[in-house]
Structure 1
């Protein structure tokens, strides 16, 4: 197994690009090599199987989507309020838009996980761990609401991102910031409990 970490990262990023643009069925070693601009056969030196490539792509997407701890600390400076939650959700949406390819690739992985039990287990573990971290952060920061508020906010923002990144014209009569504010207003209590 090849050990060049920079090349491995470049190959996984190429796999993410393939997933986002061609779907899970298009994710082959040849497609990854072509997208990465490396000699054919290179990715097979880095990944044991196509399943391994799926797993590595999921881990890399999670890494790309997770903000730096210092950025989170800076974003959490204001007093806990509904307005802070709205600002955090706008930040989340912008990060996902900025890595649209990664988000779309994650959607492809989720669909592929319905057909691959091992991927479903691993992806569930990864997504659940991130959900639990964010849940703890929300509660520890004493943001308005409770566990139910956080869950409803998570589900609503996931749906908003799905809508915006897959069918952007569907809700084009309202700005994305306005949609985020609408979700937060409907889900998050006005007063700090």
Structure 2
């Protein structure tokens, strides 16, 4: 297997585009090579098989959508401020909505995971780790609300992102921002 990290990353990014455009059935080494603009056979030199490619694409998606340190640092500025959570989650919805192909590719991976146990295991572990990190960050920040509040926000905002990407006429940007605020205000009680 080839190890050029930049080439591997480019192939994984191309695979994300193929998944978003053509679905899991359209994800072939040939399609990835074509999308990446590399010679035929290149992807097969980097990935052992299609399952390996699918699993690595899942990991690449999460690399690309992880919030930056600046966004996370805003949470620590005033640990009792729900407004910081509203801003971070509004930014998260906007960032994921802007990475339309990535999120659509993730949806394809989730569907494919219902038929591929290794992919399901990887995605489950990754999402669980992400959720656990979000819960720990929230609780450590001193914000009001508990682990259940974080889980409810995770579920509601993921569905909001899904609506924005698959049926973009449902909610405008302003409506989305208002829904994020309402979700935070309902899930995390104000300090009393």
**TM-score band, normalised by the shorter chain?**
over 0.9
Aligned alpha-carbon RMSD (Å): 1.6
Q: 1:79 to 1:16 in 2, by over 3 A?
A: same
Q: Which ranges of 4 or more aligned residues in structure 1 deviate by more than 4 Å?
A: none
- Structure number with the higher helix fraction is 2
User: 1:87: Cα distance to partner?
Assistant: 1.1
TM-score by length of structure 2 reads 0.93
User: 1:80: Cα distance to partner?
Assistant: 2.2
Q: 1:184 to 1:50 in 2, by over 3 A?
A: same
Residue 16 of structure 2 contacts residue 102 of structure 2 at CA under 8 Å; is this kept in 1? yes
Distance in structure 2 (CA, Å) of the matches to 1:149 and 1:71? 20
Distance in structure 2 (CA, Å) of the matches to 1:89 and 1:70? 13
Give the aligned partner of residue 8 of structure 2.
8
User: 1:15: Cα distance to partner?
Assistant: 0.3
Q: 1:151 to 1:173 in 2, by over 3 A?
A: closer
Residue 18 of structure 1 contacts residue 35 of structure 1 at CA under 8 Å; is this kept in 2? yes
Give the aligned partner of residue 32 of structure 1.
32
Count of residue correspondences: 192
User: Which SS does the other structure have where 2:80 is aligned?
Assistant: coil
Deviation readout 1:12-57 (Å, 9 max, x if unpaired): 0000111111111111001000000001111000000000000010
Give the aligned partner of residue 128 of structure 1.
128
Deviation readout 1:91-118 (Å, 9 max, x if unpaired): 1112212322211111111111011111
Distance in structure 2 (CA, Å) of the matches to 1:182 and 1:74? 20
User: 1:66: Cα distance to partner?
Assistant: 0.7
Distance in structure 2 (CA, Å) of the matches to 1:58 and 1:127? 10
Q: 1:98 to 1:174 in 2, by over 3 A?
A: closer
